[in-house]
Amino acid sequence: MKRTGPTNPLLQDLIGELKKRSNEQSVNLWKRVALDLERPTRNRRAVNLSRINRYTKENEVIVVPGKVLGSGNLNHKLTISAYQFSEQAKDKLEKNGSQIVNLLDLSKEKPNGKKIRIIG
């Protein structure tokens, strides 16, 4: 069986850039996120806000290598980065005052990967 990987050119660029940053900084966090994004869509992570709320604290920086779904509520503010967000999740995060950051932007802001948690 031939392994093809994602065909979306934007996702391919994102994966390549995260791997490059991982090698430059010797930080395995970005490599792990890139490898999780290389998985087939059906195996990619999908995390509800209720789970994020349960396992995080105020003002943490969270990475979801997949999609954030809008089921549940968030009781505290976070900085959250993911490949995709559902519309309902975006609305709830904006109303809560949480900050949504692009994965590439977060890897530029925090290239060393310190104090970032992967959820999912």
CATH of the domain at 22: 3.100.10.10
The number of domains in the chain is 1
Q: Which residues of 73-91 are buried (b: 16+ CB within 10 A; e: fewer)?
A: ebeeebbbbbbebbeebee
Give, as one character, the DSSP assignment of residue 72.
S
Q: Which pLDDT score is estimated for 54?
A: 95
Q: Which pLDDT score is estimated for 89?
A: 95
Residue 4 lies in a domain: no
Q: Which pLDDT score is estimated for 6?
A: 82
Residue 1 lies in a domain: no
Per-residue pLDDT of the chain (120 residues; tens, 9 = 90+): 666 778 888 999 999 999 999 999 888 999 999 999 999 888 889 999 999 999 999 999 999 999 999 999 999 999 999 999 999 999 999 999 999 999 999 999 998 989 999 998
Residue 2 lies in a domain: no
Q: 117 Cβ partners below 8 Å, 6+ apart?
A: 56, 60, 61, 62, 63
Residue 71 lies in a domain: yes
Residue 3 lies in a domain: no
Q: Which pLDDT score is estimated for 40?
A: 87
Q: Which pLDDT score is estimated for 84?
A: 94
Residue 50 lies in a domain: yes
Report in angstroms the alpha-carbon separations of 19 from 6, 36, 60, 108, 110.
15, 11, 23, 13, 15
| pTM for this predicted structure | 0.89
Q: Which domain holds residue 16?
A: 9-118
